[in-house]
Amino acid sequence: MPVRLLLVEDDPSISGPLATGLRREGFEVELVGTGAAALAADVPDVVLLDLGLPDLDGRVVCQRLRAESPVPILVVTARGDEIDRVTLLEMGADDYVTKPFGFRELVARIRAVLRRTGPVQAPPATTLENGDLVIDTRTREVRLAGAPVELTPKEYDLLVFLAGDAGAVRSREEIMREVWDQHWWGSTKTLDVHVASLRRKLRADLIRTVRGVGFRLEDGTGG
């Protein structure tokens, strides 16, 4: 089921192309141009809220949205000094971006907010099973052939991401974007280090390298 995103932006030159791009990324976008319309809309999975609205102060809209729902809110502001982290928390927002922003950065921020908070109406599955590998996403417990496996938080995140679509090849770029923080500017060699550690703790043949592309978790459900 696609993530339902409420885009609150009154400038058509921004909202139109942005909505198109977000839909292309797989989001189900509802576009509104006023604070009143944002408050009247059905609760989505995530809100992208421009503070410069024609009818209501964007901060007030953010506070009212937060008072009614735990929906993740990403605020868009025109100036970096217009908002600080303390104000952000007081407003009830989860993150913010400043104009002008890159589209890829914005999408990464939205996905990061969803990873941290989770879509309001889309709780994750409790367990992931792949052959004799069982992952309990509620307790973050991993078992292989019935034996517990101790993983670091990032090793666990990487394993869950690969296990979410066992057998599918995940590119290095996709893994870094989805598993590591969107602000990660370090070497992608950290991915290789974590893969090597998972292979040691699980089985060497469980995670396959696809040369020039990325990695895949072997699908153990089909024998």
Give a yes or no: residue 32 inside a domain: yes
* pLDDT score of 123: 43
Same domain, 168 and 202: yes
To which residue do tokens 């139109």 refer? 16
Whether residue 168 contacts residue 159, with contact meaning beta carbons closer than 8 Å, is answered with no
Same domain, 145 and 103: no
Burial bucket for residue 96 (CB in 10 Å: 0-12, 13-18, 19+): buried
Give a yes or no: residue 56 inside a domain: yes
Same domain, 107 and 138: no
- In CATH, what number is assigned to the domain containing residue 131? 1.10.10.10
Give a yes or no: residue 39 inside a domain: yes
Same domain, 105 and 140: no
Same domain, 156 and 102: no
Give a yes or no: residue 145 inside a domain: yes
Same domain, 85 and 184: no
Same domain, 8 and 48: yes
* pLDDT score of 177: 77
Same domain, 88 and 154: no
- In CATH, what number is assigned to the domain containing residue 46? 3.40.50.2300
* Domains held by the chain: number: 2
Domain boundary among the residues 69, 86, 117 is at: 117
To which residue do tokens 């929906």 refer? 71
Per-residue pLDDT of the chain (223 residues; tens, 9 = 90+): 789 999 999 999 889 999 999 999 999 999 999 999 999 999 999 999 998 899 998 889 998 998 888 899 999 887 655 556 567 667 788 888 887 778 888 998 898 888 877 544 444 457 889 999 999 987 889 999 999 999 988 899 899 989 988 999 999 888 887 787 544 445 567 889 999 999 999 999 999 999 999 999 998 765 4
pTM above 0.95, yes or no: no
Domain boundary among the residues 96, 117, 138 is at: 117
Same domain, 98 and 35: yes
User: Which range of residues forms the domain containing residue 154?
Assistant: 127-222
Same domain, 56 and 147: no
Helix axes 172-179, 189-201, angle to 10 degrees: 80
Same domain, 103 and 183: no
* pLDDT score of 82: 52
Same domain, 70 and 156: no
Give a yes or no: residue 122 inside a domain: no
Structure tokens at 36: 């009143």
Domain boundary among the residues 69, 85, 117 is at: 117
